[in-house]
């Protein structure tokens, strides 16, 4: 996306940027990470692990494509699946995966992590293939070029499924993929190559319906090779919400300020969808994705820009309007990553991994339902 700015706008942004940079240097000069945190006193934070109680090993194995920061992989692990390998083209994501799970087989980087160059037949016999092909070709935030976009990696995902012949596959993407504009793309590039071998289900899930304190919707494709497994498939049903359902009362939604442990200001709401730090005209240290989102962040008294590497630095670098400044750990929490999952890289790289990931609690509920179908539970 290009930004057409007038000379006056550029000058105003330049002055603001210089003032912000000078203020940051002044506030952080001499700052020590072990210094006591000043300002906002934080209460106990929400723990995403509570949404993903670890299940017993189910003897089912997974192969992960487009692994990124590990959201799908973590959710499937917590649901009892074993890990065969992960493929990810970005080296920094590979570092994240390795520091969290040294025992995993991680193929990362342009040489070993590029799925376009991988023969998948050695993984034939894996139970489940999962991944989130790049969403930029279908996102409303982009040009929605679909098949014409060089980042369209659906053919490689389909090739992997055909070569490995898993019992099931799971693919995640942005809701825009189910728009009428891409109806022929879905039919010709996803359903048609697989419909002779798999029964395929398409559905949307909202992360906040499963306890994640963020308004984030995604589409899932789930396919089963055996008809008996497909007949046992039941999509995840919401666990959190504002009203009761036919399945019983729901837990209250987890909201932003309460989840971050911030004081009650008389207003709380779901966090807007976090923007990936890998998107935009430059490497960004903010998670703001729209003007509408900025209004929500302002009402929450949470600042969505200038995210800091640690909570200590975020507390030391106070905002001019007095709003709470987030750290990468705060953003990870709002995405549903537990505190014991650590990210490698600069702030924008961490935000890129967080914003591109499937929310682990959402991955968990999908994985749990897939396991039940495959195991006949």
Q: What digits encode the pLDDT tens for the residues 2-36?
A: 445 577 766 765 666 666 666 666 666 666 666 55
Band of residue 145 on the pLDDT scale cut at 50, 70, 90: very low
Encoded tokens for 115: 């799925």
> Which residue in the list 93, 135, 160, 359 is annotated as catalytic?
135
pLDDT in tens, 213-252: 999 999 999 999 999 999 999 999 999 998 666 666 789 9
Give 282-291 pLDDT, tens digit per residue.
678 999 989 9
Q: Which has more confidence, 137 or 262?
A: 262
Report the alpha-carbon distance of residue 187 to residue 349 in Å, rounded.
34
Give the mean pLDDT of 130-148: 59
Q: Supply the pLDDT for residue 12.
A: 67
CA nearest 336: which of 43, 70, 40, 94? 70
- Helix (H/G/I), strand (E/B), else coil: 291: helix
**pLDDT tens per residue across span 350-375:** 999 999 999 999 999 999 999 999 99
CA angle 33, 35, 37 (to 5 degrees): 100
Percent of the chain with pLDDT over 70: 83
Closest to 193 measured CA to CA, from 171, 217, 219: 171
The reported pLDDT for the residue numbered 3 is 47
Residue 349 has pLDDT above 60, yes or no: yes
How much is the pTM?
A: 0.88
Cβ–Cβ under 8 Å, residues 169 and 193: no
135 counts as catalytic: yes
Task: Dump pLDDT digits (tens) for 192-210.
Answer: 999 999 999 999 999 999 9
Between 173 and 15, the more confident residue is: 173
List C-alpha distances in Å: 207 to 24, 243, 264, 329: 34, 16, 23, 18
Residue ranges, comma separated, of all CATH 3.40.50.150 domains in the chain are 48-245+358-375
Categorize the per-residue pLDDT at 138 as very low, low, confident or very high, splitting at 50, 70 and 90: very low
Class for domain 48-245+358-375, per CATH?
A: alpha beta
């Amino acid at each position: 996306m290009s930004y057409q700015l007038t000379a006056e706008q550029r000058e105003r942004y330049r002055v603001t940027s210089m003032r912000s940079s000078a203020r940051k240097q002044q506030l952080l000069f001499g700052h020590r990470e072990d210094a006591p945190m000043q300002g906002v006193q934080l209460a106990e934070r929400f723990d995403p692990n509570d949404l993903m109680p670890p299940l017993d090993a189910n003897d089912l194995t997974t192969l992960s494509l487009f692994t990124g920061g590990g959201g799908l992989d973590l959710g499937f692990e917590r649901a009892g699946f074993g890990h065969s390998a992960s493929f990810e083209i970005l080296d920094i994501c590979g570092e994240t995966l390795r520091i969290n799970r040294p025992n995993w087989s991680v193929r990362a980087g342009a040489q070993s992590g590029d799925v376009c160059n991988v023969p998948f037949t050695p993984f034939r016999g894996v139970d489940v293939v999962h991944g989130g092909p790049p969403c930029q070709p279908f996102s409303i935030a982009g040009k929605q070029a679909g098949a014409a976009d060089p980042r369209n990696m659906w053919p490689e995902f389909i090739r992997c499924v055909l070569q490995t012949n898993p019992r099931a596959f799971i693919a995640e993407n942005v809701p825009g993929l189910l728009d009428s504009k891409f109806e022929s793309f879905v039919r010709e590039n996803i359903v048609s190559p697989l419909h002779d071998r798999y029964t395929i289900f398409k559905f949307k899930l909202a992360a906040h319906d499963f306890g994640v304190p963020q308004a984030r919707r995604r589409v899932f494709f789930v396919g089963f090779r055996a008809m008996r497994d497909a007949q046992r498939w039941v999509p995840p049903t919401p666990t959190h919400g504002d009203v009761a359902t036919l399945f019983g009362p729901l837990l209250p939604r987890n909201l932003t300020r309460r989840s971050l442990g911030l004081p009650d200001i008389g207003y709380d709401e779901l966090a807007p969808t976090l923007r990936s730090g890998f998107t935009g005209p430059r490497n960004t240290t903010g998670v703001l994705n729209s003007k509408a989102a900025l209004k929500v962040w302002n009402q929450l008294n949470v600042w969505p820009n200038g995210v800091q590497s640690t909570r200590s630095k975020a507390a030391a670098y106070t905002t001019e309007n007095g709003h709470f400044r987030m750290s990468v750990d705060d953003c990870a929490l709002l995405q549903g990553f537990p505190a014991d999952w650590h990210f490698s890289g600069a702030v924008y790289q961490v935000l890129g991994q967080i914003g591109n990931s499937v929310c682990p609690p959402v991955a968990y509920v999908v994985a749990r339902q897939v396991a039940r179908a495959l195991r006949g539970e």
